[in-house]
Amino acid sequence: MDIRISVKQYFTISNWGLDIMKTDNTTPTNPLTTLILDFDGIIVESIPLKTVALRKIFSFASPEHLDEIIAFHLENGGMSRYDKFRHIYANILDEPLTPEQEERLADEYVGLIFDAMLTVPYVHGAEDLLRDCSRMLPLYIVSATPEAEMHEIARRRDLTKYFVRIYGSPKTKAECIREILDETGASPDEALFVGDAPNDWDAARATGVRFVARIPPGDPNRFVGRPGVEEIVENLHELRGYLRGSVCSSRSHTP
């Protein structure tokens, strides 16, 4: 199926009134034609799992350094593990990191998280949102997880059926989003990226796409002072409600 044609034709013909208002309720955006989702912290509740794993592989560090490592990890949820390792060694531990050490860290990290990633709970509302939205428009995953690993996790969780394509590192999230815009023919203001980290916001700003942030209950708001966040949600049930009346709500769920 030619997405570049079918998506545009679908929205022109169906005329469902798909404009979604910005949070200031003054200016409607263009119709939403492409939905892009981060994976960790957006589709599955995997951030605590990965935090525990990172704490374990850096357990050799001093308590002060370990606290700094974990703080950096939580502030940079959209960053690839390899970039995190390099930053941690260069800027926190102040030690050289050899390619061999880097691969050992990565192997240990994957060994700690991979099996659990197959069963970690979904973010509340994720399954309903994926089911409904995938019927109506192209969905994409853009993750900092290595792409082959991300594909395998999605396959084994039976998620691939929902997505046109699944992206991962080493490409940056901005590079992935630009590819999606080229593939779909969507303009940036017709595409929405949903993320939970400032790095996700950075990718949205760099590409011009719209951005919705997820902040789980009890987490700090890391988007203060970052313009262009059109909505903040606690879970994907709230996101689905925000999109209600657009392509992502089946009629059986419309009040």
Confidence of residue 114 (pLDDT cuts 50, 70, 90): very high
- Give yes or no: residues 74 and 181 share one domain: no
- Give yes or no: residues 71 and 167 share one domain: no
Of the listed ranges 12-26, 141-155, 156-170, 241-255, the least confidently predicted one is 12-26
Domain count, the chain: 2
Please report the pLDDT score of residue 16 as a whole number.
31
- Give yes or no: residues 134 and 60 share one domain: no
pTM of the full structure = 0.84
Beta bridge partners of 229: 211
Half-sphere exposure of 61 (CA within 13 A, CB side): 19
How far, rounded to the nearest angstrom, does the alpha carbon of residue 18 sit from its chain's CA centroid? Answer: 23
Please report the pLDDT score of residue 243 as a whole number.
87
- Give yes or no: residues 139 and 38 share one domain: yes
**What is the distance between the alpha carbons of residues 247 and 151, in angstroms, rounded to a whole number?**
26
Point out the domain boundary residue: 96, 117, 138: 117
Please report the pLDDT score of residue 13 as a whole number.
28
- Give yes or no: residues 103 and 198 share one domain: no
- Give yes or no: residues 64 and 189 share one domain: no
Domain around 88: 47-117
Point out the domain boundary residue: 71, 86, 117: 117
Average pLDDT over residues 151-156: 98
- Give yes or no: residues 142 and 211 share one domain: yes
Largest CA distance in the chain: 62
- Give yes or no: residues 188 and 236 share one domain: yes
Average pLDDT over residues 117-123: 97
**What is the distance between the alpha carbons of residues 233 and 216, in angstroms, rounded to a whole number?**
8
- With a pLDDT cut of 70, the percent of the chain lying above it is 84
- Give yes or no: residues 208 and 189 share one domain: yes
- Give yes or no: residues 235 and 182 share one domain: yes
Average pLDDT over residues 63-72: 96
- Give yes or no: residues 150 and 224 share one domain: yes
Point out the domain boundary residue: 93, 117, 141: 117
Please report the pLDDT score of residue 245 as a whole number.
55
Answer yes or no: is pLDDT of 251 > 60.
no
With vertex at residue 25, the alpha carbon angle to CA 21 and CA 30, rounded to the nearest 5 degrees, is: 25
- Give yes or no: residues 155 and 110 share one domain: no
Answer yes or no: is pLDDT of 18 > 70.
no
Read off the CATH number of the domain in which 7 is found: 3.40.50.1000
How many Cβ atoms sit within 10 Å of the Cβ of residue 71?
11
